[in-house]
Amino acid sequence: MISALSLFDLVLIILLLWLAWHLLSARDLFRATVLFITYGLLMSLAWVRLKAPDVALAEAAIGAGITGALVLVALGRFGEAESDEAEPGSLWLRGLVASAALGLFALLGWAVWSLPTEMAGLKAQVFERMGESGVENPVTGVLLNFRAWDTLLEMAVLFLAVLGAWSLGEAEEPSMPAPGESLLALVRLLIPLIVLVSGYLLWLGETAPGGAFQGGAVLASGFVLLLLAGVRPIPSLMGWPLRAALGSGFALFLVVAVAVTGGSRMLLEYPPGWEKGLILLIEGVLTLAIAVTLGVLFAGGRPPASPGAGKRGEKR
């Protein structure tokens, strides 16, 4: 008899493929958007079934809280203009694209097929040395200690992404209806809980799935919610405090990375006994930096110069 779980997996895979097909072939942009949101939520279930709750948590936070809202807002900005159906290319061109895509698919399929089914990877080595990592959750151990280098560079990527977005222009003042009482009540109830859950996920990261990225993404959803409800950011925080928060994650990580070197220790090689404290410090700052970064990316540009201050800031 087929177990219920393998049937669940089968239905999940079929649904994912079906959704992917429909969202790519949807002529209506809004339909594609909703399918994309649903696809993200289903992907999070797929990560659960792959026994990767850390990724599922990140996917849930980013998919439900940020990408969904981001895509919807982008659609709102496009308005009707872009919703028109694109000209389908000539038959010859479509044939060419289809065969190229099929070729790539075959190549990838072959690559997956030729992988060994049982691969140990580096799992054994990680588990063997977990005691040295300073934490109990192997994923956090890898991300913040054994391969902290990768996470450090990821922070650099996030920072560069903000620089890129800001160099494109100022954030537009969105046109939206005044928030009603129910929306404001929702925001008032949710924001404290979002902060609480974000801290909970950060703290959890030491022993269980969770950590800075998940906590940061949840916190960023709080910023998204505030922006959507038309809550204006405090102008005095939009200057250097915002920039400091944006750079803080990468900067602190870098400082720690360099500061621990010395003697025979290499970059990012925490001194014995200090691992847990340093990881907690980095993760705490990272949570805030990631949240602010994602929130700023959602706003979509650098904060507009405040009207009172004057263009060149004569006051200074």
Partner 1 sequence: MTMSEFYFGYALFLLLTVAISLIRVLRGPTSGDRMLSAQLFGTSGVGILLLLGRGMEMPALWDVALVFALLAAVAAVAFVQRVWKSGEQKEAKSDAS
Partner 2 sequence: MPLNEWIGLLFILAAAPFFLAGSVGLLRFPDLYCRLHALTKADNIGLGLLILGLMIQSLSLADFLKLLLIWLLVLLAGSTAAHLVARSALRQGRKPWERR
Select 29 or 190, whichever has its Cβ closest to partner 2: 190
3 state SS of 302: strand
Out of partner 2, partner 1, none, which partner does residue 182 contact, by CB within 5 to 8 A per kind? partner 2
Structure tokens at 104: 């790539």
CB of 262 to partner 1, least distance (A): 37
Q: Report how many residues bind partner 2 under the rule CB under 8 A.
A: 8
Burial status of residue 281 (CB atoms within 10 A of its CB: 0-12, 13-18, 19 or more)? middle
3 state SS of 43: helix
56 binds partner 1 per the rule CB under 8 A: yes
194 binds partner 1 per the rule CB under 8 A: yes
Selected from 143, 144, 212, 224, the binder of partner 1 by CB under 8 A is 224
183 binds partner 1 per the rule CB under 8 A: yes
**Residues of 10-24 as b/e, b for ≥16 C-beta within 10 angstroms?**
eebeeebeebeeebe
Radius of gyration of the chain (CA): 23
247 binds partner 1 per the rule CB under 8 A: no
12 binds partner 1 per the rule CB under 8 A: yes
Quote the CA–CA distance of 8 and 79 in Å, as a whole number: 38
3 state SS of 266: coil
How far out from the chain centre does Cα 255 lie?
24
Selected from 25, 114, 117, 182, the binder of partner 2 by CB under 8 A is 182
Task: Pick the piece of the chain touching partner 2 (CB under 8 A) from 15-23, 51-59, 156-164, 180-188.
Answer: 180-188
Quote the CA–CA distance of 155 and 172 in Å, as a whole number: 26
Structure tokens at 112: 């997956």
For residue 229, give the nearest of 192, 181, 184 by alpha carbon: 184
Residues forming contacts to partner 1 in the complex (CB under 8 A) are 3-5, 7-8, 11-12, 15, 19, 22, 27-28, 30-31, 34-35, 37-38, 41, 44-45, 48-49, 51, 53-54, 56-57, 60-61, 64-65, 68-69, 72-73, 75-77, 80, 83, 174-177, 179, 183, 186, 190, 193-194, 197, 201, 204, 208-210, 214, 218, 221, 224-225, 228-230
Residues forming contacts to partner 2 in the complex (CB under 8 A) are 180, 182-183, 185-186, 189-190, 193
